Amino acid sequence: MVFKNLRNIREDHDIKQREIAELLHVSQNTYSQYETGTIALTADVLITLADFYHCSIDYLLDRTNDPTFPFK
């Protein structure tokens, strides 16, 4: 499963995959595979990304199109 919001939020912030990979302490290839759904995102990775982007995990997983859900 491709996670469109995960890629879009990174691109909206003008951040390269390599930079997020460094934040997560993984290779750029591993992060790329997270975005394409080739390998599963762990809870730790999702929490780190949601905190970094100040958005919900549901948004990162394409369960909502509202990045602030359920924070309204």
- Span 8-33, pLDDT tens digits: 999 999 999 999 999 999 999 999 99
| pLDDT surpasses 70 at 72 | no
| pLDDT surpasses 60 at 71 | no
Q: What is the mean pLDDT of residues 32-55?
A: 96
Domains of the chain, residue spans: 4-60
In Å, how far from its chain's centre is CA 29? 14
| pLDDT surpasses 60 at 60 | yes
Closest by Cα among 66, 29, 21 to 45: 21
Amino acid 67: pLDDT: 82
Q: What is 4-60's CATH number?
A: 1.10.260.40
The mean pLDDT value of the chain amounts to 93
